[in-house]
Amino acid sequence: MKTILLLSSLLLISSLSTASQLTPKGPSTPLLLAKDGHTPYTIVYAENAPDAKSAAQELRAYLRALSGGVMLPLVSEKETFKAPFISVGPTEAARKAGIGATLPAGHTAIEIKVVDGNIYLYGIPSVFPAVMNFLEGDLGCRYYTDKINYVPVTPELKANVTNRVETASFDDRLVLTDYDLALSHTWTRQNNVLRWEHFRHPRDWFAHTYRLVVPMKDFSETPELFAVVDGKPSNTMICPTHPENIRRFKEGVRRAMLANPGKKYFSVSESDGSYPYCHCPRCMKIIKAHGGAPVAAHLYLVNEVAKSVADRAPGQLVECFVYSRDFRKPPVNLKLEPNVNIWYCSNGDAVKPEFAEPGRAKEFETWRKMGSHMTIWDYTADYGNYFRILPTLPAEVQNLKYYPRHGVDGVMIMEVYGCRGGDQQRLRAWVLAKLLWNANLDANELAREYCEGVYGPAAKERYAYFELVDKAGQAGKSIKEFYGLEKFTAEADKLFRAALAKAAGNPVILRELELDYLPVLITRLNLIFDAYPGNKAHFPLAEYRQLLAEIKRISSACDVTRISELNSMNGYINEKEMLLNLADGDGSFQIHAVNGRLYDYPTVKDPLAVGGKATRQFCDGNWIVQWLLPVRLCEPGRKYQLMAEIRIDKKSSMKGVCGGGVFNVTKKRSVFTDLIDGDKLSDTEYRFVKLGKPFIPEPGCEVYAYFSAPPTSDIGKFYVNRIRLIPVK
């Protein structure tokens, strides 16, 4: 037997031919599909199923690879064909054989069955999961990553087909992870999960839609549409019970449903971080009537919208969030309309199951009883540090077993997403995809199989690292609580060094291992950095330099772009290099603004800027470009001057056209705010300007420098290039 790896030269070990959780249990029928370049079988696809032909074509391609090149005939059920055949989808032959008759209507399910030597692959609402289940379960294929597939090739292709009916644990299944996987048409289809297309929402109606329908810019003209706080209109949030807002949402949702007939969910949800809620008499009357739960007024809006589009159900549903702060408390005596989906966000402790605390379980189950439909948004990573090693898999396994008992329709698991990074990112994605289909599988055995399939000679050490992390999760504790970071990183380092030595010479395995090693290296570097200046007298300079060099090399080679949701990897490396620069410089610090903390804010090419790029900000009062000041590295008691290199679009003689300041996040107060007059800035060059007076960074606090421009400015836009923090004598 040979092994084909699509898009990869990695040699996999062949343990997959033995016991596997993905191999169906029970008696099987041995069938010869191809031998010596010939096949007795024809693939027949259903005419009345839109995906049956493409599923049949994919099956044909894999059978050709498995058999070493045999091309099975492919015909429509309307054409003439002979037995034996492989039926794909709801063919007339499948109907006559009674295939699919017992599958649960309205749910995702498959049936695979052999009748008189013919193989029937049937699935609702799509046949693709049946085809992939057949390739995995009966023929031993695996689809680990976007580049690593396992296809065992033999000139005598046999299938030991087990008759089975399977219903997916969840109808809507998504692992939001590295876009190499989450955006891949191939990997997501092969592993029976949704491709990342906003979890069956239109992009604009995915989440936080208050501002979509009632923009904040309308506040000055129509303040009555916004929340009443302390007796006055406030642009913190809209008033959900105002008749005009209800009208706008009704019309907006109906337009969106008509324009997006293939989308299922349409969110009517509060703006992220916009508080407090509306206290107008109309809202407060509803809130008091439902046990004082602030979300009750919002749900009034949701129900009104749902009633107006009830004719679009069940294919299209109005959605509400259970997300944050005041809006998590369930109201009493309130029933949601039948066409409302509750999207429940798991804001609990990620290393413990969602239902571990009685209060959380009660909250969840109370919400579940309020509506006919529920989906889950599970958070499983630290979005402030993508490379923090969080042992969340055991808790997630328990969650995925708990949710089906309460009739949950779908789950979106938000891992480290949109970029490469995070602890065991690709292993976790594959394991979670399998659990979303069948929540009763053993996650540890799935992980073992993944390690054997992907890491080859280094599988033993790689699985040992998985177990090292998993052991803390099984105890419901963080890595720091369970091991201590020093002990953990020392043990993890030994395992990865041994694994890398065994994989020497195989670039595919080495790349996978180095990506997995990166969180350990970053954790170790952070330990040394965070201990400064306490470790100043015995600073491990050589180790620090080596760690930083390895992190830079792997990040560059593997195109790792982000350290967190708000910060680039280049920004992180720049911040950590500042500690090395202290010994060589005058005690000042500098960062290129594009490496500051950015949240989807424009970075533009600019030949006038150092490095050819700068951040661009609009005159809208927002302060998005941020720099987390290196307070830990500052000399205690020393004053520092903040300076920034700025350029504007248009010349101006106005006072205070833009500026910035310093904000102490820990103490939630401004250190200073300062504005710059237009005549100090240029539209043709960058100029360093001082911001505020010298100040003393407070030890132990998280402190940001930020930049903004008032809406009244006439400079068009402004650009920030380099930012400096200079010690003052």
Q: Rounded to the nearest 5 degrees, what angle is found at the Cα of 66, between the Cα atoms of 64 and 69?
A: 40
Give the integer Cα–Cα distance in Å for 462 and 495. Answer: 7
Predicted local distance difference test score (pLDDT) of residue 236: 82
Sign of CA dihedral 378, 384, 387, 391: negative
Find the helix or strand (DSSP H, E) in which 467 lies. Answer: helix 459-474
Give the integer Cα–Cα distance in Å for 222 and 171. Answer: 42
- Has residue 7 got a pLDDT over 80? no
Predicted local distance difference test score (pLDDT) of residue 356: 84
Query: Which residue intervals of 176-263 are DSSP H helices?
Result: 179-182, 185-190, 210-213, 243-259
Give the integer Cα–Cα distance in Å for 660 and 725. Answer: 14
Q: What is the mean pLDDT of the chain?
A: 93
Query: What percent of the chain has pLDDT above 90?
Result: 83
Give the integer Cα–Cα distance in Å for 510 and 516. Answer: 10
Amino acid at 303: N
- Residue tagged 């303040």 (tokens): 223
- Has residue 4 got a pLDDT over 50? no
Average pLDDT over residues 177-200: 97
Nearest to 134 by CA among 153, 155, 110: 110
User: In terms of CATH, what superfamily is 2-167?
Assistant: Chitobiase/beta-hexosaminidase domain 2-like (3.30.379.10)
498 backbone dihedrals φ, ψ, rounded to 5°: -65, -40
- Residue tagged 């009443």 (tokens): 228
Find the helix or strand (DSSP H, E) in which 113 lies. Answer: strand 109-115
| Contact between residue 172 and residue 409 where contact means Cβ atoms under 8 Å apart | yes
How confident is residue 9, by pLDDT bands cut at 50, 70 and 90?
very low
- Has residue 8 got a pLDDT over 50? no
Nearest to 16 by CA among 1, 35, 34, 28: 1
Q: How many CB atoms lie within 10 A of CB 526?
A: 18
Give the integer Cα–Cα distance in Å for 125 and 408. Answer: 18
224 backbone dihedrals φ, ψ, rounded to 5°: -65, -15
| Contact between residue 248 and residue 194 where contact means Cβ atoms under 8 Å apart | no
Two tokens, residue 169? 């644990």
- Has residue 686 got a pLDDT over 50? yes
- Has residue 14 got a pLDDT over 70? no
Considering just the CA atoms, what is the radius of gyration of the chain in Å? 29
Higher pLDDT, 446 or 536: 446
The CATH number of 203-406, from 2.80.10, 1.10.3470, 3.90.1200, 3.20.20, is 3.20.20
What residue ranges in 156-279 does DSSP mark as E strands?
A: 156-162, 164-167, 172-176, 226-229, 232-238, 265-267
Predicted local distance difference test score (pLDDT) of residue 599: 65
227 backbone dihedrals φ, ψ, rounded to 5°: -60, 150
Predicted local distance difference test score (pLDDT) of residue 12: 37
Q: Which residues contact 61 (CB under 8 A, 6 or more apart)?
A: none
- Has residue 335 got a pLDDT over 80? yes
Q: How many CB atoms lie within 10 A of CB 507?
A: 11
Give the integer Cα–Cα distance in Å for 86 and 173. Answer: 27
Q: Rounded to the nearest 5 degrees, what angle is found at the Cα of 66, between the Cα atoms of 54 and 450?
A: 90
Give start-end residues of each CATH 2.60.120.260 domain in the chain: 589-727
The CATH number of 589-727, from 3.40.718.10, 2.60.120.260, 2.40.37.10, 3.40.50.300, is 2.60.120.260
Q: Rounded to the nearest 5 degrees, what angle is found at the Cα of 594, between the Cα atoms of 593 and 595?
A: 85
Give the integer Cα–Cα distance in Å for 653 and 212. Answer: 36
Q: How far apart are the first and last CA of the chain?
A: 75
Nearest to 14 by CA among 499, 444, 459, 496: 459
Burial class (CB in 10 A: 0-12, 13-18, 19+), 462: buried
- The four Cα atoms 336, 341, 343, 344 give a dihedral, to 10 degrees, of 50
Give the integer Cα–Cα distance in Å for 26 and 529. Answer: 56
Beta bridge partners of 165: 111
Predicted local distance difference test score (pLDDT) of residue 2: 42
Predicted local distance difference test score (pLDDT) of residue 354: 83
Give the integer Cα–Cα distance in Å for 259 and 261. Answer: 6
Widest Cα–Cα separation across the chain: 92
Give start-end residues of each CATH 3.20.20 domain in the chain: 203-406
27 upstream amide cis, omega within 30 of 0: no
How confident is residue 271, by pLDDT bands cut at 50, 70 and 90?
confident
